[in-house]
Structure 1
Amino acid sequence: MAKYRQSLPQMQGGLFLSDGGMETTFIFHDGLELPHFASFVLLANEAGRAHLKAYYESYLAIARGRGVGFVLDSATWRANPDWGAKLGYGPDALRAANQASIRVLEELRSGWETPSMPCVISGAIGPRGDGYKAGFMGAVEAQDYHSAQIAAFADSAADMVAAYTLSNVEEAIGVALAAKEHDMPCAISFTVETDGRLVTGRSLREAVEIVDDETGGAPLYYMINCAHPTHFEQALEAGEGWIKRVHGVRANASARSHAELDESEVLDEGDPADLGRRYQALRRNFPGMRILGGCCGTDHRHVAAVCEACLAPTALSA
């Protein structure tokens, strides 16, 4: 049974961490092969599951050491029908993989959670296509497409679902409606280009407001991920209603564009300390941003730096 589905602790205040760039860590640091950038293939055997657990534990140790909460996102960003088909997974196998990912997180929560460190289990959803390119689905088609993965999470111990690296509002609307259909709390996380806009040209404000209007405010909250803070800082305006709906950031380590990162054969790890200071500034200006992690190029060092900076005595000072 889901522990927090009816009352998610991150909505009650406090700082929550999440992990970093799972796929880039496995490929560039651990030397693993992830076909089509899919981490969920590691769930197929005990060695892969052990590797996943060790990865999560490096982050859980940071959260426990500082007494903050943690959002455990499953390794299922690619575990949807089109990407699954490329990897030889049919509908039944995909459902099994999605639910196996949640069981791994259940085991971790049972061993790591403390009263000062609530651990929320989140079923991670990725875009149907390439998160760096404009999508091609309408909202109704997107709702139908993502429904099976969300249904698998609804029938597990997942407390919520979170859709990452979405680049168009139609797919976000579809995910939010599918989550609503299955009574699952959901978060929607957009990715932006270096100009702070979605690849479709919409602003973050437009994206959040349109999704809220079209779904009756179905998403529990919004996030920004897979972009460097320098790409989206200028798009955020304190005091505006929409920004109060944005509760999380999972930034890239690198300030390079998506196109540059796609063409790079080496990992740009950026500067963890600088990233921490940028998160600190975001938290100072937008204290509602309390779910903090990383995306491409980040690892436990970046998340630790973010945590230390945001818990510093001056982090939320005026």
Structure 2
Amino acid sequence: MVDSIRRRFESTIKGLSAIPMPTQFTVIITTKNRPGYLREAIDSVLQQKSSHQAKIVIVDDGSDVPVRQQVEDYYQDCRKILRNDESVGVSAARNQGIQATETDWLIFLDDDDWLAEDFLVKMADATEAIPPPDFIWPSRTMVYEDQGVQVPKRASVPFVPTTKSPDEVLAGLFDATSSGMAFKRSCLLQVGGFDEGLTVSEDRDLIFKLLAKDYCAKPEEAAVLFFRIHGGPRLSRDEKRERQAEADLTVLSRHKQFLGGHPILADRFMGRVAKRLWENRFYKEAIAVTNLQCHISPFSLRARKRQIGWHLLAFFRLGKSLGS
């Protein structure tokens, strides 16, 4: 009798252990001096229609008024709030968030963006795909905000249909940002997380590091991130564009070998880098990038057209050739 009960108990326990556990996420929100937007971001996580509830880690990167004073009493579900008395930059702040988590999957969320109400459901479904992904990027709805009025506009990137070739799918990452993306924590730790020396272009640097390690990327169109375009606190556009151009050049130099094996992704990324360099009057560097782009993607008509046009502009406007 006792043996029979024991066997039935062991059988029940074995059956329960075979039931798959819901995917556990931690959402890491980095913030600085945007308490109004931050509350919208937090609400979008707490109000998910999903059994896959997420933990929240907030990294306050030097806000004038500590975030803890603004949200802790209101949001009892914010289990961890990390505080930097002085700003360390978005890359270092995100790395702090990674170290403060324990779940297998992490989602980054900028404080001025928010998630659709079924975002976690769709992301959880995506984690069960075959082959299993190591990181997942959502589709985006751009929300243009002008004097408090929000105008949604569905973005065509970074989503790319999975029916296309692997290189075309990866090309959808050329304009991806880490906000809204889900990553396996173990993969982030393996590549060292975000480069804290980069304050811009850190997203693409991380993505290229993961792809170079053969980690599997998957787009998930059904998971929607609302990406806010606004005129709130940030660096001036001219300064940021110049820094963006310099950072893109650094990322390109680091990952030139990887991009050489993925011509479609390289064509899109390098084309944007070259354009940004030219706009910021780094003419020689812009032409050098375009020359390399033509070498990697010899059938890119856009690159060839830009290469010829810029050489002519450099010759007639500046009175000299800037490289071949």
TM-score (norm 2): 0.24
> Which structure shows the higher strand fraction?
2
Which structure's relative contact order is higher, taking Cα pairs within 8 Å and 6+ residues apart? 1
Q: State which structure, 1 or 2, has the greater radius of gyration over its C-alpha atoms.
A: 2
